[in-house]
Amino acid sequence: MKKTLCALILATGSTLIATGVANADTTTVKNKTETTGQYLKATSVTGKVKAALLTKSNIDSNNISVSSRKSSAGPGSIVILSGTQKSQELVDLAIATAKDVDGVDEVISKDLKVDPNK
């Protein structure tokens, strides 16, 4: 219940933050210019992935960073996961969870590692 509430708050907050830039025509992120619509879509996908990870009780979502950018291969976004989990099974679950989110075309997870001490 607590994780579900946190997921809802996170997803809502991401949407509200993204809406704050809606008056701009373009946004520059990491030296790449994208339209406001592209930025909003990527921000929304990031929030959705974070919320989905929070719903998985065995994933330590506090140890996973999520970012996204527009995909050049399709209409969706590329999601980048980094951080650590206790086992490869949890890393795989985090990747599968991100891939299942609507709007995700690809997941890059080369910086999502196993650390049994976490």
DSSP 3-state of 44: helix
> In whole angstroms, what is the distance from residue 105 CA to residue 72 CA?
10
**What would the mean pLDDT of 88-109 be, rounded to a whole number?**
97
Is the pTM of the predicted complex or chain greater than 0.95?
Answer: no
* 81 half-sphere exposure, CB direction, 13 A CA radius: 30
- Antiparallel, parallel or unpaired: β 104-114 and 26-29: unpaired
Phi, psi of 105 (to 5 degrees): -90, -35
Q: What share of the chain in percent tops pLDDT 70?
A: 65
What is the rounded distance in angstroms from the CA atom of residue 38 to the CA atom of residue 71?
10
Q: Cβ neighbours of residue 1 under 8 Å, at least 6 residues apart? A: none
DSSP labels, 55-111? T-TTS-GGGEEEEEEE-SSSSSEEEEEEEEESSHHHHHHHHHHHHTSTTEEEEEEEE
Q: What is the pLDDT of residues 29-77, one digit of tens each?
A: 455 566 766 666 667 899 999 999 999 999 999 999 999 998 887 888 9
> CA 109, 99, 68, 114: dihedral to nearest 10 degrees?
-20
